[in-house]
Structure 1
Amino acid sequence: MKAVGKMAMHLVMGAAAMAAFAPVGASAAALAPTAEYYGDARPDAPELAARGPLRVGVRTQVIEHAGQLDILRATAGNPDPRYTRKLTLEIWYPASLAPGEKEHTVYTDVLGSGPGNPARPNTPFQFTGRAARDAKPAPATVSSSGYPLVIVSHGYPGSRLQMSYLTENLASKGYIVVAIDHAESTRADKAGFPSTLLNRPLDDLFVLETVAGWSKAGSGHFLAGRVDTGNTALVGYSMGGYGALNAVGAGISEAAVAYVSGGALAIHQQGNPRFDARRDPRIKAVVAIAPWGGAGKIWDAAGLAGMRTPTLFIGGDQDDISGYEDGVLRLFQGAVNADRYLLTYRGARHNTAPNSPPPAAAAAGFEDFMAYAEPVWDSRRINNINQHFITAFLGITLKGQPLQPYLDLPALPAAGTAGPDTAEWKGFRKRAAVGLQLRHLPAQ
């Protein structure tokens, strides 16, 4: 029986268990489940969740950002220590597969909440993906400029692999997708929160600049001539959402600067000339999933008004980490100068971004399990819905595709009422949009 290694053993019934429900005479081969990967479409998946037509390759690369402020070692006597930040990247891309080469790889990640935590130790686990490791990249046939770039930023703590259901899916649709392991912010190396507050937007912009260098003809990189960095999107989850919003102009408040001693966060503050000068016109879209900071008053009205980049917000209305009424909804409403959407999962908490189901190893501990799971939602359904709406949004903003009807949707009935047929939502089958709300506010 082939499944997603140890991670997905709880996804499929064993052959013996299935045989108990099988018709008499059914063969073992007929009963054997097919391979299942994160992001595979459920029968009720909306239309645009389907994988694209392109084959997908994946590679891992480490880059170094020298001369960065080492905020965790700054003291009154040494307020400006510097270090090199090493960032591990996972890169998914359209690929040209050799005869017999399969879209199959094994990723290795860890559970836990940082090193040296006996309550949640770093426990390695593996899972499979639909991508060919180190495959030959496909020619850039989408345009003379190459494939649009999508930069993906995880939560705190998290990893570059925690949204592979989305990264693989987007690569199959003609994007170069680069996910970052943010140093001092992964499950393997979690350190003090000030590092995450300082470095998230800086890491995003450094990766964009690095990929722009790789994309140049003659760079010698496998992505040379294949990436259109002039059409870039940032996708961020939780603290990744915080970093993405700040990177496109949502300057933090004066009160938020004081969260870290020494004034290091002032480089992210609205009105700081250094912050205002770093706005990068190559970033054309943002997807902010459960973005942190609204409830923490990281942004005031003026800071949120600094955003002008089209943004898709995604969140659960029971989010107990980022908040909803005072968190994600507040950010959506406050970004008055950006064209923006808000997709709300009614009854969902904070975990509206990670791969689902949780890895099998997470079953050993409540906290690790709940870092992936949603209490009232089948998160595999969330994965598919995210694929659908993000495909529409990025197709419109980065490629100019005629997908606007997938976002111009009628309001669904209020919670607790049956209302009209939810097949009115384009791309959704009957009943399959229940529990969702999509709102749109144009730039003022």
Structure 2
Amino acid sequence: MTSAEDLRATVADQLTRARARSAALTDAVDDDDLVRQHSKLMSPLVWDLAHIGNQEELWLVRDVGGRDPVRSDIDELYDAFKHARAARPELPLLGPGEARGYVREVRDKVFDVLERTPLEGARLLDGAFAFGMIVQHEQQHDETMLATHQLRAGAPVLHAPPPPPGGPVGPPEVLVPGGPFTMGTSTEAWALDNERPAHQVVTAPFLIDTTPVTNGAYTEFIADGGYRDPRWWSPTGWEHVQSAGLTAPRFWSRSGDAWHRRAFGVTAPLDPAQPVVHVCFHEAEAYARWAGKRLPTEVEWEKAARFDPATGRSLRYPWGDDDPTPEHANLGQRHLSPAPVGAYPKGVSPLGVHQLVGDVWEWTSSDFRGYAGFEVFPYAEYSQVFFGGDHKVLRGGSFGTDPVAVRATFRNWDYPIRRQVFAGFRCARDASPEVARGAVEG
């Protein structure tokens, strides 16, 4: 059992790591870039920075700490539900210097609250949940700011070493056996409300791709006229591809027979072994249909990621119960692109599926809904307001997702037309009775 002092040290370390990343993402550009809106889909970077501080003030300074407000006059400006992203540049936002001063003042108070607060006795305090929620919130906005950097025009300002090389991955598909498994969690201390509760789900046997779909495989879909053939698209998807004029993943360009991709201000030849990124749900669904497959449901995705056939137990991560390390997965903005498939053999699931966590968020076919027994905690605006058929579930995290903000139970969601997210996909298909029977007999 973790002592209160060890838990405080963990929280302090995670808060410090998150703030260092926020600072790196905002210090990388000048004040003009901080206040500019680089895309109508995104907030100005300076809004994200002050919003991070405001959420920290609301939950940790005022609620957990019971302290007087630092800046109650700005609450409405940084309420994500009061103002659409496209309208935020017109608000009287804190300037860069003021925003930096505000988040520093809030953080100083938070460290004092952390030292003085018993991390037990209330649901927000048990296991330091409120602190973990705020750490994850900051890291989620850091990934959002990273996406803003990708949309930003101009010379590159972010730098990182290339990801490790790829390696062997085995057969192209893996059979996932039918039967029950435990989905979700009731024990992960910092799991958010939509990941809860743990519950048993029964699946039929199915096949899932060993790796995410690669750039090289996706170019075959394009070369075969995939964007021009309505057979592969749902009616909604075909309408979108025509109205938006889609012909390739976002940030791709073609010069003769060669494809290039622009990433954080650098245009380079497409690496055919890297997972495809910046595709919307409709593109993923069309590719899967063209390939004679489909997208996995999120139940199937999680079973492939967590189920250990040797024990029947659901693991915390594909590789086991240990927290991620750089050898397990491409997380935490250590690199600025997905890694080639096969780059993380230590992260493979017991069933033999690669790169389920990190590299690219993976679209599933599932709508975002609460599990049976879902309970709002601690506020409806985190998950519940997004439930329904408008949002599709993504799983697994990307190269821009911090390890603290992703688990094999973690659920992301977005509109099916969105391409600014670091999203790719892998395919699945039903297992024929012969294939399923052969696996059992084998």
TM-score range, shorter chain: under 0.3
Higher strand proportion? 1
TM-score, normalised relative to structure 2 = 0.27
User: Which structure is higher in RCO with an 8 Å CA cutoff and minimum separation 6?
Assistant: 2
TM-score, normalised relative to structure 1 = 0.26
